Structure 1
Amino acid sequence: MFWSLVPFIAANEDVKEGVSKVQEADKLPHESQLRLREVVFVIQSQRNSFHVQQAERLRADLLLQTEELQESPPPILLLHTLSDSEGDWSILPSLPYFSSHFGKNSSWIMFLEEETNVKLEKLLTVLKKFVRRKEWFLGKPLHDDESTIIHHYAFAENPSSFKYPDFSAGWALSIPLINRSDLSTPPCKPAPHRSFFSFVFWAFGTVVIGFTCSVRTMSSFSRQGEPVTREDIFVAVKTCKKFHLERVPVVKKTWEKQASRLEYYSDHADPSIPTINLGVPNTDRGHCGKTFAILSRYVSSSVPKTDWLLIVDDDTLISLPRLQALLSCYDPREPVCLGERYGYGLGQGGYSYITGGGGMVFSREAVLRLLASGCKCYSNDAPDDMVVGMCLNAVQIPVTHSPLFHQARPEDYARDFLAHQIPISFHKHWNIDPVAVFSKWLNDSDSSAERLSTRLKEEL
């Protein structure tokens, strides 16, 4: 691995000292002649129409700032338009493109999320402090307080030494780093903040002004209209007999009352809950057979017709009012598959999928197209979320990522990553009090979300 070759800047207060030492050692002139046209901006856009609009808005803002600075326009790319490769969102597969197209005449590749707020004048001020012929990776560092499955227990003995960038704050690679010939393909299962950053870099995070999509998405709900109604979402909870007394009561104590149309699906019909037996035996892993039975039931006359289907596990904690607000951004007439996106084999023609534990959201149109394709489980215990991802890839329905959904528990994520989020879901009851977690992170009956939103508006 080559991460140790990249210059290290330990913390914000060390930036000026670190940069001056590097420049003195190289005996190079100051980088004050860096022009905006030497910075290639890559907006990490998505194919869904709402996200395309958000990306175009950011591009227009960057061009307006460029004009105000009386600079020549820089290249501004929308990531989803660079190729038909589903794996481009994981960054590594697209690096050869950046090297071949911009490796000679540019100095930096700057990555932005669709709603990252950037002050170009301040960005240039900071980039000028770095010697361009060196290998640099700049971003706002996040780190885990404990070793966690989210990052595959990387640096388990000292998890705080494993630093990775907060995408929402923007991050930059110098062209010499982009041009390296030893950048390998992504891991088999890249996850947010993981796919590219299994190669560990460190830097700083004070100039690009950004907040995670959660807050920005929440702030954009009012621009998209009213939240969808409770009656527009059909909720399917996957459970099994052995968890009827352990997990189902947690759902009932927390978020079940937020749903208007909800059914529990199990391997055993229990009228006290009630649960519905779909005729699919329980399996120790996978649950593909059960999920596809739910998809078929959703479009049948057995359940009320709704625009949206939410499939969750019985140990998923979720805020349905926040989901209602999020869905106001999306058109149910489009094939939408929404949640926390992972990927499998993206560097070798693989596919993306929505992790099931955080919740999988489908528009009715997506379910109809999926079932019409004839795609099926190869076994009842196949991983349902991955099989659905393969099927969506086959019918060219894009997977849409939202960082509001979480495959793991709150403590499995960096504190700074969650600090400016208003999350929609978490997953797993392991070593936690799930009712307390729901109350702290997802229950809007208290004022925590309102206080957080107010603070962030003040900072903006």
Structure 2
Amino acid sequence: MTGPQNLETKARHVKATWSRHCNVVLFMSSVQDENFPTIGLGTKEGRDQLYWKTIRAFQYVHKHHFEQADWFLKADDDTFVVVDNLRWLISNYTPDTPIYFGKRFRPFAKQGYMSGGAGYILSKEALRRFVAGFDSKVCSHTTSVEDLALGQCMEKMGVVAGDSRDTEGRETFHPFVPESHLTEKFSKNFWYWNYCYYPIVE
């Protein structure tokens, strides 16, 4: 996920680094740019457009690239992914299992939902069900809070919110910049304490 204003400042660094370890890489934007290249989703820019961009991006991927991959990662242009670690995480699951992974938050959905800032990855079956949810009108654009809305749709469509912690119980998806997680102490009245599905280890 990117925007026209971020191609040179953010997206090009994603293009030059971790995304090269993916099988297929698509840069989604509000407008098409054949030079970068980006796929235009026909939306506006801004936080209130994030869920529309996500819906249309997954619909586009389902229509044009569904058979090219088993797992589908959504990441923003300020996200860094260690792709080998991600492959290791999903190696215990099959793509026909309706499951998705990310940084799991607790409120507003029975099984929780995945933080958009940390990125999340859908199995092939999870992507199929997400798109089917909009085709059948079971899911709709309910709120501009993209990650929560996606999580609520997943729950309705029977897609499981997976446990993305490693074999030692450590989180593998992180919503803040690395130094926040490594060196900062979160104030006890910071919203993060109430949102995290699993206990926070400082």
TM-score class, shorter-chain normalisation, is 0.7 to 0.9
In the alignment, structure 1 residue 335 sits paired with structure 2 residue 92:
no
Q: 2:29·2:38 contact (CA, 8 Å) conserved in 1?
A: yes
- Partner SS, residue 84 of structure 2: helix
- Give, in angstroms, the shift of residue 396 of structure 1: 3.3
Q: 1:322 aligns with which of 85, 96, 101?
A: 85
Partner letter of residue 45 of structure 2? N
Equivalents in 2 of 1:332, 1:247: separation in Å? 30
- Give, in angstroms, the shift of residue 397 of structure 1: 2.4
Q: Aligned ranges for residues 76-91 of structure 1 at < 5 Å?
A: none
Equivalents in 2 of 1:301, 1:259: separation in Å? 17
Q: 2:18·2:82 contact (CA, 8 Å) conserved in 1?
A: yes
In the alignment, structure 1 residue 297 sits paired with structure 2 residue 60:
yes
Equivalents in 1 of 2:108, 2:142: separation in Å? 19
Q: Deviations over 1:98-129 (max 9, x none)?
A: xxxxxxxxxxxxxxxxxxxxxxxxxxxxxxxx
Partner letter of residue 33 of structure 2? D
In the alignment, structure 1 residue 399 sits paired with structure 2 residue 161:
yes
- Give, in angstroms, the shift of residue 253 of structure 1: 2.9
Question: 1:363 — aligned with what?
Answer: 123
Q: 1:336·1:400 contact (CA, 8 Å) conserved in 2?
A: yes
Equivalents in 2 of 1:265, 1:303: separation in Å? 16
With over 3 angstroms needed to count, the CA separation of the structure-2 counterparts of 1:333 and 1:388, relative to structure 1, is: same
In the alignment, structure 1 residue 409 sits paired with structure 2 residue 177:
yes
Larger radius of gyration: 1
- Give, in angstroms, the shift of residue 247 of structure 1: 0.6
Q: 1:351·1:393 contact (CA, 8 Å) conserved in 2?
A: yes
- Give, in angstroms, the shift of residue 302 of structure 1: 5.1
With over 3 angstroms needed to count, the CA separation of the structure-2 counterparts of 1:345 and 1:378, relative to structure 1, is: closer
- Give, in angstroms, the shift of residue 268 of structure 1: 2.0
Structure 1: runs of 5 or more not aligned:
1-237, 417-460
Equivalents in 2 of 1:332, 1:255: separation in Å? 22
Q: Cα RMSD over matched residues? A: 2.1
Q: 1:376 aligns with which of 140, 150, 164?
A: 140
- Give, in angstroms, the shift of residue 361 of structure 1: 0.4
Q: Aligned ranges for residues 9-408 of structure 1 at < 5 Å?
A: 238-285=1-48, 287-301=50-64, 304-345=67-108, 350=110, 352-373=112-133, 374=137, 375-378=139-142, 382-402=144-164, 403-408=171-176
Structure 2: runs of 5 or more not aligned:
165-170, 185-202
Q: 1:299·1:305 contact (CA, 8 Å) conserved in 2?
A: no
Q: 1:337·1:363 contact (CA, 8 Å) conserved in 2?
A: yes
Question: 2:192 — aligned with what?
Answer: none
Partner letter of residue 159 of structure 2? I
Q: 1:343·1:352 contact (CA, 8 Å) conserved in 2?
A: yes
More strand by share: 1
